[in-house]
């Protein structure tokens, strides 16, 4: 199909690449640019490089704490969401398990994916407040679980539905228990799907902002997005380098996934239909 002429094709390609890459490039360029090169006319390419913004980020803004908070919240919420979500999705898809809550549960999972976060935030806030949790990281952690369980269940249900139940039935006849069946046969077959949801769930938790800004109250519990947002509100040139350096730090996990596991990441993005 000939839709674009040759020179139009090249031109479109260049524009697409520029538009996609430039804001990220600019973040990187600002993060390594010395302060005096940010004033006046800014060159597209910094003429000398510095790591001072990264250094300041860690020494003055205590970024290592934000990094630790983000890792803690993302990894712990990921572990819970993954175990709970994958187990639930498996039972939901198997005809041999029948119970009354099955259909309503599956329906509610879809509804939660669709509803805006504000449908839940106010009562959750009062609940966390009553339990005295607002000064801890637990609300942030629970919010990530709340976001990721529906995502994982939804994604894994369509994944498990593609694995035929017959294999499991014959293994059952051969005397394997349900638990053995699940851990030894089903989970290894589901590994590609699990890899995809693991990466995406981690990213959703890593990037989470809406719930955190409402539930996380003390700066010592701030995750990376919240820390970046506070740097952003102090509007001065000194912060440009810090924001840029922090922004680069926030991108590292995505970068690692793109470099090492791009195919799983993309499978997760396009298979997870209802997006976060």
Partner 1 sequence: MMKADKRFAVFMVLPALAVMLIMTVYPMASTIYYSFTDFRLLRRNISFTGLKNYASLLSNEYFLASVWNTVKFSLLAVTFEVVLGFLTALYVNSLKSLRLQKVLRTVILLPYLLPTVTAALSWRMMLSPNYGIVNQFLAPMGLPVHNWFRDIHTAFAMLVVIDVWQNMPFVFLMVYAALQSIPQEQYKAARIDGAGTIAQVWYITLPNLRTALMLCTLLRTIDTFRIFDKVNLLTGGGPAGSTTTITQYIYNSGIKSLKFGMGSACAIIMTGLVLVLSALYVRDIMNQRSI
Give the residue among 19, 93, 30, 10 at the shortest CA–CA distance from 231.
Answer: 30
> For partner 1, how many residues bind (rule: CB under 8 A)?
103
Measured from the CB atom, the residue of 16 and 51 that comes closer to partner 1 is 16
73 contributes a contact to partner 1 by CB under 8 A? no
Give the residue among 195, 176, 198, 197 at the shortest CA–CA distance from 185.
Answer: 176
Q: Rule CB under 8 A: which of 103-132 touch partner 1?
A: 103, 105-112, 114-127, 129
Spell out the residues 6+ positions from residue 52 whose beta carbon is closer than 8 angstroms to its own.
Answer: 34, 35, 241
Measured from the CB atom, the residue of 58 and 80 that comes closer to partner 1 is 80
What is the C-alpha to C-alpha distance for residues 24 and 31, in angstroms, rounded to an integer? 11
Measured from the CB atom, the residue of 58 and 254 that comes closer to partner 1 is 254
Q: What angle do CA 267, 273, 275 make, to 5 degrees?
A: 100
What is the C-alpha to C-alpha distance for residues 81 and 12, in angstroms, rounded to an integer? 41
What is the C-alpha to C-alpha distance for residues 102 and 157, in angstroms, rounded to an integer? 12
Q: Rule CB under 8 A: which of 76-105 touch partner 1?
A: 83-85, 87-88, 90-93, 96-99, 101-103, 105
Among positive and negative, which fits the CA dihedral 131, 136, 138, 140? positive
27 contributes a contact to partner 1 by CB under 8 A? yes
Residue 17 CB, nearest approach to partner 1 (Å): 6
Q: Contact, 212 vs 230, CB < 8 A?
A: no
Q: Rule CB under 8 A: which of 173-192 touch partner 1?
A: 177-179, 182
Give the residue among 264, 242, 259 at the shortest CA–CA distance from 27.
Answer: 242
Q: Rule CB under 8 A: which of 236-265 touch partner 1?
A: 237, 240, 243-244, 247, 250-251, 254, 258, 262, 265
Instruction: Enumerate the H helices of 162-236 as residue ranges.
Output: 166-173, 178-180, 187-207, 210-215, 224-233
What is the C-alpha to C-alpha distance for residues 116 and 121, in angstroms, rounded to an integer? 10
Of positions 203, 221, 222, 264, contacts partner 1 by CB under 8 A: 203
Long-range contacts at 37-43 (CB < 8 A, ≥ 24 apart): 38/237, 38/240, 38/241, 39/237
Residue 204 CB, nearest approach to partner 1 (Å): 10
Residue 273 CB, nearest approach to partner 1 (Å): 7
Stretch that binds partner 1, among 45-53, 56-64, 190-198, 226-234 (CB under 8 A): 226-234
Residue 59 CB, nearest approach to partner 1 (Å): 21
Measured from the CB atom, the residue of 64 and 263 that comes closer to partner 1 is 263
193 contributes a contact to partner 1 by CB under 8 A? no
Stretch that binds partner 1, among 41-49, 53-61, 163-171, 183-191 (CB under 8 A): 41-49
Could you tell me the two tokens for 131? Answer: 């339990």
CA end-to-end distance (rounded Å), the chain: 35
Stretch that binds partner 1, among 46-54, 55-63, 138-146, 184-192 (CB under 8 A): 138-146
Stretch that binds partner 1, among 57-65, 163-171, 187-195, 200-208 (CB under 8 A): 200-208
């Amino acid at each position: 199909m000939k839709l674009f002429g040759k020179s139009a094709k090249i031109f479109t390609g260049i524009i697409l690449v520029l538009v996609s890459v430039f804001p990220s490039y600019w973040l990187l360029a600002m993060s390594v640019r010395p302060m005096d090169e940010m004033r006046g006319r800014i060159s597209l390419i910094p003429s000398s490089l510095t790591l001072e913004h990264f250094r300041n980020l860690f020494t003055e803004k205590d970024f290592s704490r934000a990094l630790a908070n983000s890792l803690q919240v993302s990894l712990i919420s990921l572990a819970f969401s993954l175990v709970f979500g994958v187990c639930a999705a498996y039972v939901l898809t198997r005809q041999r398990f029948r119970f009354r809550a099955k259909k309503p549960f599956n329906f509610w999972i879809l509804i939660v994916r669709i509803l805006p976060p504000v449908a839940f935030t106010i009562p959750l806030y009062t609940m966390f407040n009553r339990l005295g949790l607002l000064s801890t990281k637990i609300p942030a952690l629970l919010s990530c679980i709340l976001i990721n369980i529906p995502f994982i269940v939804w994604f894994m249900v369509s994944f498990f539905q593609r694995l035929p139940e017959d294999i499991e039935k014959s293994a059952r006849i051969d005397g394997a228990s349900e638990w053995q069946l699940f851990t030894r046969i089903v989970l290894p077959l589901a590994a590609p799907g699990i890899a995809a949801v693991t990466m995406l769930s981690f990213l959703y938790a890593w990037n989470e902002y809406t719930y955190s800004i409402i539930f996380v109250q003390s700066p010592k519990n701030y995750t990376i997005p919240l820390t970046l947002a506070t740097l952003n509100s102090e509007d001065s040139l000194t912060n440009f380098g810090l924001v840029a350096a922090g922004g680069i730090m926030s991108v590292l996990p995505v970068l690692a996934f793109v470099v090492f596991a791009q195919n799983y990441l993309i499978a997760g993005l396009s298979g997870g239909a209802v997006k976060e």
